[in-house]
Amino acid sequence: MPSDLECYVYVVPPGSTEFVTAGRFSQSRDRKGQAVGRFIYGRSYRERADAVELDPVQLRLRQGTFETARLGGFFGALRDALPDHWGRRVIARHGGLGEPSDFDLLLLGPDDRCGAVSFGRGVKPPAPQRRFHRTLDLKRIKQAADAILHEEPQRADSALEQVRELIGQAGTSMGGARPKTTVEADQALWLAKFPAPSDTWNQPRVEHGLLLLARRCGLQVAESRITRVGDADVLLVKRFDRDWSEAGYRRHRMVSALTLLQAEDSATDRAQWSYLLLADELRRVSAQPAADLQELFGRICFNAAVSNIDDHPRNHALLARSRSWQLSPAYDLTPAPVQAETRRDLAMSCGLVDRRPSRWANRHAILAAAGRFLLQTAEAEAIATRIFTTVASRWEATLREASVSPGDCQRLSRAFVYPGLELDPALSE
């Protein structure tokens, strides 16, 4: 290829287990030095009966060149495939690889990254990886992760091997800064999330408990379990972008809400971080908009009720198990026992106060935006009441069922159904 900033993009079509070459991505600089990304679907790919779009927003399946100067010259679906904070930390700091660019990271990232895309220099895609770590490997992997978390020096000859251990099977967009890897168990792939030294409670068990609680509220959530590794608990979250088959794992396309919203990661793009705008996008691209919008509304209510203020757009996704798109199961649910009693803000605008978008985790604000989710007032009130009541009455029993300690339950108690949740905004002024 003529440029170092060109690569081929591969995708696994629906129902398949093998990559095919979808097109070519490149980057260059304009006269102002700004990165500009270009993508073109290959003609042979477009002519395939099983050809599908890489994402439903920027890269709809068609002839011609797509171009973008936003997001550092990356299309959202390709940005979603980049290693997350943890992956970057391992590669950049402990791989002996310097500080790779985002473009380099497309090629350095794991074969088993989230979704159904991969990248390479050759026209022919590589064969999918068939070997995965097992749960019995977690002790050794956790030791390597701990060494990285504690910034322990590594032997030069072991650095690259460490990268392979931690990144070679690591997830990318389903998560963030926490150490993690992918393991295989019971004919499924699971994202193993390790504890971190900065945790102030047993995060794996608490997250497991929150996923159980969300399910009891009637929400669609990722399956999870806890496994013991040495003296530590590790959370296993079943990967919903993979399905086992005799021929190998089927990969499903996945894009983040960040991509749907065409937003930046930075909070400076906060105006685009909005459940209301996400609802608008779901109405446009979802194969089942009414069901997805009701589900999304329920998740807003749940996040408000448990003070999950880490509900940023990367923690929501659209999934394509077939040719069409729908809201993915919920993941990365964490309570935050912040001190404020009258107002707690979610990461995304979730309602209306004085007819203006608001991040306030408040029943009245949330219900005021019900129409954006194709809900009648009575329907929205019933969903909110069901979820708030379930959280209030069952949060502690559910966390204890997940073996969260009494002490951790006490530390987290302020997170659930905080007083400001039911406060009338008109009375707070």
| pLDDT confidence bin for 149, thresholds 50/70/90 | low
| pLDDT confidence bin for 374, thresholds 50/70/90 | very high
How much is the pLDDT for 57? 92
Higher model confidence: residue 303 or residue 103? 303
Task: Give me the percent of the chain exceeding a pLDDT of 90.
Answer: 70
Determine which helix (DSSP H) or strand (DSSP E) holds 162, and give its type and residue range. helix 156-167
328 neighbors 315 (Cβ within 8 angstroms): no
**Contact partners, residue 296, CB within 8 Å, separation at least 6:** 275, 278, 279, 282, 316, 327, 373
Q: Is the pLDDT of residue 166 over 60?
A: no
Task: Give the mean pLDDT of the chain.
Answer: 89
Higher model confidence: residue 363 or residue 139? 363
Residues 272-286: what's their mean pLDDT? 97
How much is the pLDDT for 165? 54
**Contact partners, residue 4, CB within 8 Å, separation at least 6:** none
How much is the pLDDT for 143? 75
Residues, the chain, total?
Answer: 429
Q: What is the DSSP string of 193-252?
A: E---TT-SS-HHHHHHHHHHHHHHTT--B--EEEEEETTEEEEEEE-TTEE--TT--EE-
pTM tops 0.85: yes
Domain boundaries, the chain: 253-428
How much is the pLDDT for 417? 97
How much is the pLDDT for 164? 53
Name the E strands within 277-332: 317-320, 326-327
Among the residue ranges 33-42, 133-142, 263-272, 332-341, the one predicted with the least confidence is 133-142
Q: Is the pLDDT of residue 382 over 70?
A: yes
Sign of CA dihedral 53, 59, 65, 71: negative
**Contact partners, residue 154, CB within 8 Å, separation at least 6:** 94, 147, 162
Higher model confidence: residue 167 or residue 377? 377
Q: Is the pLDDT of residue 137 over 90?
A: no
| pLDDT confidence bin for 171, thresholds 50/70/90 | very low
CATH class of this structure's domain 253-428:
mainly alpha
Q: Is the pLDDT of residue 408 over 80?
A: yes
Among the residue ranges 123-132, 155-164, 263-272, the one predicted with the least confidence is 155-164
| pLDDT confidence bin for 294, thresholds 50/70/90 | very high
How much is the pLDDT for 265? 84
Q: Is the pLDDT of residue 299 over 80?
A: yes
How much is the pLDDT for 107? 85
How much is the pLDDT for 1? 43
d(CA 279, CA 293): 6
φ/ψ of residue 19, rounded to 5: -70, 145
208 neighbors 191 (Cβ within 8 angstroms): no
Among the residue ranges 173-187, 218-232, 406-420, the one predicted with the least confidence is 173-187
Q: Is the pLDDT of residue 193 over 50?
A: yes
Higher model confidence: residue 46 or residue 107? 46
Among the residue ranges 13-17, 65-69, 85-89, 219-223, the one predicted with the least confidence is 85-89
Q: Each residue of 23-50: pLDDT tens digit?
A: 999 999 988 889 999 999 999 999 999 9
From residue 400, alpha-carbon distances to 209, 289, 386, 407, 410 in Å are 8, 35, 21, 11, 11
How much is the pLDDT for 98? 63
